[in-house]
Amino acid sequence: MRTAIITCAPTGAIHTPSMSPYLPVTPEEIADAAVAAARAGAAIVHLHARDPQDGRPTQDPAVFADLLPRVAEQSDVIINITTGGSPHMTVEERLAPALHFAPELVSLNMGSMNFGLYPMLDRYPDLQHAWEHEHLAASRDLVFKNTFADIERILRLHEEQGTRFEFECYDVSHLYNLAHMLDRGLVQPPVFVQTVLGLLGGIGSDIEDLLHLRRTAHRLLGPDHEWSVLGAGAAQIRLGTIGLALGSNARVGLEDSLWDGPGTLARSNSDQVDRIRSAAEILHRQVATPNETRERLGLKGRSGLRL
């Protein structure tokens, strides 16, 4: 099997600062977490930003301007900027940093969906900030908007600046949407597919769900795609390891799981990278370097990043 591409997402819009003292919030904390993850073996860092005052997710390019140079100066890791941002943001807000900085890679959600975070209210009754409760409660009546028109627009805008995509597929229908865009020539291979399992509103986290996504991706997209597995919550290392055994790449990070084993909070993103790297090596798979990953995904290289 080829080397495994490891992606790390150090922070994000799912969890809130009250849920873990180890979740990075400030640009410096997020950059330090990204660099440590890269040193542990991540070839890609998938980056969100947060308001440094209260930890609220933000797509303000000014915050990314404080974050991105810190990562770029300390590592040759591939910088992947989210276009998902938060389900509470408009598409225009979500696109702002990626269009401003023109990174090698951006994420792209491949369909509109329910995005239910509200069950976390029962698990975390003592939230520090009012926005945290509002953020979770509002997801009971929220559609994460990613229409065909939105997807087409994002594809065209980023193609103009030479940016490629991590296609986030939360359910089987998203793979069909991706195949549709590929058939129309709006997506060019190699296609980097991030199958996301275990979020309420998307596919579940059972091994049969993983196998169904794998079979469907192989049937629809053919051999010229890179498959990666992201398991949310407690499923992160379990599904990542199963995926690695089946030939996939893997994504970890505190964006999608705060845990390092049952009941134990992960103290850092690099700890999660260490876990999945160890799993890969047990399976006799070495991890890909950033430059190997650039070649496999057809990326333009770091020089195109506008800092």
Give tens-digit pLDDT for 143-155: 999 999 999 999 9
The arithmetic mean of pLDDT across residues 203-232, rounded, is 97
Rg (CA), the chain: 17
pLDDT at 57: 97
pLDDT at 64: 98
Residue range 114-138, pLDDT digits in tens? 999 999 999 999 999 999 999 999 9
Which pair of structure tokens corresponds to residue 109? Answer: 């959600």
Read off the pLDDT band of 92 (50, 70, 90). Answer: very high
Q: Give the count of beta carbons closer than 10 Å to the beta carbon of residue 222.
A: 12
pLDDT at 1: 77
Residue range 45-56, pLDDT digits in tens? 999 999 999 999
Mean pLDDT of the chain: 97
Q: Is the pLDDT of residue 261 over 90?
A: no
The arithmetic mean of pLDDT across residues 202-227, rounded, is 97
Q: Which domains does the chain have, with CATH numbers?
A: 6-298 (3.20.20.70)
The model's pTM is: 0.97
Which pair of structure tokens corresponds to residue 194? Answer: 């991030």
